[in-house]
C-alpha cells in the first residue's frame, strides 16, 4: 500500500513551495512512498533512552572576537544576480492584495 496519498504529496509540495504537474504527483507518490516504507526499519530499534544527535562537532556557543571583520558586499554588487532590482533594491512580488 502506498504510504503517501495524493493529497499528502500535494501538502508536502505546498510546504516545499513546489508546483507539481499531475504526472509528477503520481511519480513522486510512488517513489517517496517506497523510500519512506524502507525507512520504517528504524522503528524496529528501541531508542527511547538515546539522546538525539543533530551535529557531530560537540561545539557549543562558538563566539568570535569583537574585532573588525571584512566589509559587507556593497548594495549595487549584492543585487547583481537579482531577477529584478531597482536602484540597488531587490524587487519582489507584492505580499498584500489590493
Note the residues at the interface with other proteins (CB under 8 A): 4, 8-9, 11-13, 15-20, 24, 27-28, 31-32, 34-36, 38-39, 41-43, 45, 47, 50-57, 59, 62, 64, 69, 73, 77-83, 90-92
Say how far apart CA 15 and CA 21 lie, in whole Å.
Answer: 16
Cell numbers at 52, concatenated:
538525539
Tell me the HSE value of 26 on the side-chain side, using a 13 A CA sphere.
3
Closest separation between CB of residue 24 and other proteins, Å? 8
Closest separation between CB of residue 6 and other proteins, Å? 13
Closest separation between CB of residue 26 and other proteins, Å? 13
Q: How many CB atoms lie within 10 A of CB 2?
A: 14
DSSP state of 79: T
Amino acid at each position: 500500500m502506498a504510504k503517501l496519498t495524493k493529497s499528502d504529496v500535494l501538502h508536502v509540495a505546498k510546504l516545499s513551495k513546489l508546483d507539481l504537474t499531475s504526472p509528477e504527483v503520481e511519480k513522486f507518490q510512488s517513489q517517496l512512498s517506497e523510500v519512506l516504507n524502507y525507512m520504517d526499519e528504524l522503528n524496529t530499534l528501541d531508542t527511547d533512552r538515546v539522546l538525539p544527535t543533530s551535529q557531530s562537532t560537540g561545539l557549543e556557543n562558538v563566539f568570535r572576537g569583537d574585532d573588525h571583520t571584512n566589509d559587507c558586499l556593497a548594495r549595487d554588487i549584492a543585487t547583481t544576480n537579482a531577477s529584478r532590482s531597482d536602484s540597488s533594491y531587490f524587487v519582489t512580488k507584492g505580499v498584500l492584495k489590493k
